[in-house]
Structure 1
Amino acid sequence: MAERLEMYALPEFPLIQPGDDICTLITAALERADITLADGDILVIAQKIISKAEGRYAHLNRVEVGTRARTLAERVDKDPRLVQLILDESVEVLRTRPGVVIVEHRRGYVHANAGIDQSNIQSDAKDPRVLLLPEDADASAAALRRSLRQVTGVEVGIIINDSAGRAWRNGTAGFAIGTAGFTPVVDMVGQGDLFGRKLESTSVAVADELAAGASFLMGQAAEGTPVVLVRGARLPVAEVGSESLIRAREYDLFR
């Protein structure tokens, strides 16, 4: 594990439009900050800029609302059009209360309102729009990693992060919805503790830990720093995505 960790929020990152090349924008931001990528660096990317670049907008006035969405919208006091999008992006509704619909997103993670967001996006009051999560955040992370390797010749890891609430805890924290280039969960079973006892069930969600630290630097309002460079994590390269972060349903005590 790392003995020292450094995090840099890349400054002056531009507002993202559909079709923008995130790789080009990141390399330009690194150059402005006088930072050279090194093997083993990890870039944490806010989900929002990936979604924007991929054009993952939905216009509320164009949503066809079904009976189920209308019924649920009355119960949770939300716009029926938004509720329809939440249902479209999900495989199951797990919990509800006024203002919130907790679902299992179709990519597997449990999320409030399917991660659909209205903050920090440009929208016309006459034709309001919202931003959906990436279609496949692991694929987006892997593609960005390949592009950066081609441009820089450097092997980096990628985390696409979002923020969410947690069971039994107040406040939101960053977590990884997509990864590439390293193992997101480190299994420590069998390793000894300070007193020589063998660990029996400990695994560390390193991707989520780094996502949360980066989220602190990114901020949640008007900071405009959606990319954070993490240096010193010393994680081995692996060609895997984020699937191992999702707990199997039979072990999920909150369902």
Structure 2
Amino acid sequence: MTGPTTSAMNGQGITVTAPDGVPEVRKGDDLAALLLDALESPLVDGDIVVVTSKVVSKAEGQVREGNRDDALPGETTRVVARRGPTQIVRSRLGLTMAAAGIDASNVEAGHIVLLPLDPDASAHALRATLRDRTGANVGVIITDTAGRAWRDGQTDIAIGAAGLEVLESFAGQVDAYGNDLVVTAPAVVDEIASAAEISQGKLGARPFAILRGRADLVREPGDDGPGASALIRPEGSDFFGFGAREAVVRALKGATEDQAPFGAPASVEELSAAVTEVTGTSPVPHEGGLRVAGVDPAVIAALAFAHGWRCERDDINHGATSHLQPLTT
């Protein structure tokens, strides 16, 4: 067994322990039994059980023959960005990840592992089973590895959770200097996922970890909470619904199915400023919207689309005048 790693948080001692001796997981295996057999000490109320999505997927039969390219279309709702062979996509789970989280490591050659069908439901089932067998009220987190938009390297995040607070909100409190905390909300399940990964390691064959010392985050028996899916931003609320290149292409194409990732319609002031910045022409208010004259309508249409507006051309003036209205009107 690995030596526990300990840190301090909120005045509490926290230990993360990842047990050795877990055999290769296959379809139909009992994950609760595998975990309990590997532990040197029993679970107690307030423990947080962390398990990698890889073994959850294997136990649930989410292993497929083939490669990522074969499986990617079925796991993808839309492509967010491409850079060479790498595709960042929004997956069927709503997660934005490279290759939809499809993994070809720690699996037989010629096979790939898909993410669990419903990670929150998988976490719920494991929590209930552990409660039945041990009597302990624990929280459960299912993790996967993901990159970050602005930093090199990867960290583990929670893609499924049960019985836990997923966000620890400090809104309405004040710091030591008397400053109001307005939007401070640590994603504690992601922080726990990363802490567990340090103990598990990528090549250590330790798919389980137990974090002890944050019982305050564990909900009462029978209360599974919102799950990790509550951390996924709805389509259109992400500032980065497309990659930089892809956003240009989608705006110029102007297809209706590409509208949602650009978000809610921008204000008239924001769109007007964008038109002026790009064209040097100031739009004028017109019938609840804007009118732009003397500018290529294709340019105005792309700007309107990216800001959640629609563009209509004035055929009387041979398309030289564009009328803009927000899509909600």
TM-score interval, smaller chain = 0.7 to 0.9
Tell me, in whole angstroms, the C-alpha distance in 1 between the residues paired with 2:229 and 2:37: 31
Tell me, in whole angstroms, the C-alpha distance in 2 between the residues paired with 1:2 and 1:151: 31
Q: 2:76 aligns with which of 74, 90, 102?
A: 90
Query: 1:5-45 CA distances to partner (integer Å, 9 max, x unpaired)?
Result: 10001111111011100011111111xx2x11110100110
Tell me, in whole angstroms, the C-alpha distance in 2 between the residues paired with 1:122 and 1:243: 30
Tell me, yes or no, if the aligned pair for 1:39 and 1:155 is still in contact at 8 Å.
Answer: yes
Q: Which moved more, 1:171-180 or 1:96-105?
A: 96-105
Tell me, in whole angstroms, the C-alpha distance in 2 between the residues paired with 1:250 and 1:122: 38
Hey, what does 2:180 align to over in structure 1? 198
Q: Is the counterpart of residue 36 in structure 1 residue 36 in structure 2? A: no
Hey, what does 1:13 align to over in structure 2? 22
Deviation at 1:47, TM superposition (A): 0.7
- Deviating 4+ runs (over 4 angstroms): none
Tell me, in whole angstroms, the C-alpha distance in 2 between the residues paired with 1:109 and 1:233: 26
Q: Is the counterpart of residue 138 in structure 1 residue 144 in structure 2? A: no
Tell me, in whole angstroms, the C-alpha distance in 2 between the residues paired with 1:134 and 1:110: 15
Tell me, yes or no, if the aligned pair for 2:17 and 2:211 is still in contact at 8 Å.
Answer: yes
Tell me, in whole angstroms, the C-alpha distance in 1 between the residues paired with 2:11 and 2:129: 27
Hey, what does 1:164 align to over in structure 2? 146
- Structure 1: where are the runs of 5+ without partners? 61-80
Structure exhibiting the larger radius of gyration computed from Cα positions: 2
**Residues 1-255 of structure 1: pairs in structure 2 closer than 5 A:** 1=10, 3-30=12-39, 33=40, 35-60=41-66, 82-123=68-109, 128-220=110-202, 222-234=203-215, 235-237=217-219, 238-240=223-225, 241-255=227-241
Tell me, yes or no, if the aligned pair for 2:15 and 2:211 is still in contact at 8 Å.
Answer: yes
Tell me, in whole angstroms, the C-alpha distance in 2 between the residues paired with 1:50 and 1:151: 19
Tell me, yes or no, if the aligned pair for 2:63 and 2:112 is still in contact at 8 Å.
Answer: yes
What amino acid is the match of 1:187? Answer: S
Deviation at 1:155, TM superposition (A): 0.5
Provide TM-score, normalisation by structure 2.
0.67
Deviation at 1:2, TM superposition (A): 5.8
Report how many aligned residue pairs link the two structures.
227
Hey, what does 1:77 align to over in structure 2? none
What amino acid is the match of 2:44? Answer: A
What is the RMSD computed on CA atoms of the aligned residues?
A: 1.3
Partner SS for 2:163: strand
Partner SS for 2:51: strand
Partner SS for 1:192: coil
What amino acid is the match of 1:57? Answer: V
Deviation at 1:243, TM superposition (A): 2.1
Query: 1:72-116 CA distances to partner (integer Å, 9 max, x unpaired)?
Result: xxxxxxxxx632411211211101112311011111111110111
Tell me, in whole angstroms, the C-alpha distance in 2 between the residues paired with 1:2 and 1:23: 31
**Larger RCO: Structure 1 or Structure 2 (Cα < 8 Å, ≥ 6 residues apart)?**
1
Tell me, yes or no, if the aligned pair for 2:48 and 2:211 is still in contact at 8 Å.
Answer: yes
Tell me, yes or no, if the aligned pair for 2:88 and 2:96 is still in contact at 8 Å.
Answer: yes
Deviation at 1:150, TM superposition (A): 0.3
Q: Which moved more, 1:233-242 or 1:159-168?
A: 233-242
Counting aligned pairs with the same residue, the percent is 39
Partner SS for 1:55: coil
Cα 1:19–1:236 shift into 2, 3 Å: closer
Tell me, in whole angstroms, the C-alpha distance in 1 between the residues paired with 2:229 and 2:65: 30
Partner SS for 1:209: helix
Tell me, in whole angstroms, the C-alpha distance in 2 between the residues paired with 1:236 and 1:132: 28
Tell me, in whole angstroms, the C-alpha distance in 1 between the residues paired with 2:207 and 2:108: 16
Partner SS for 2:77: strand
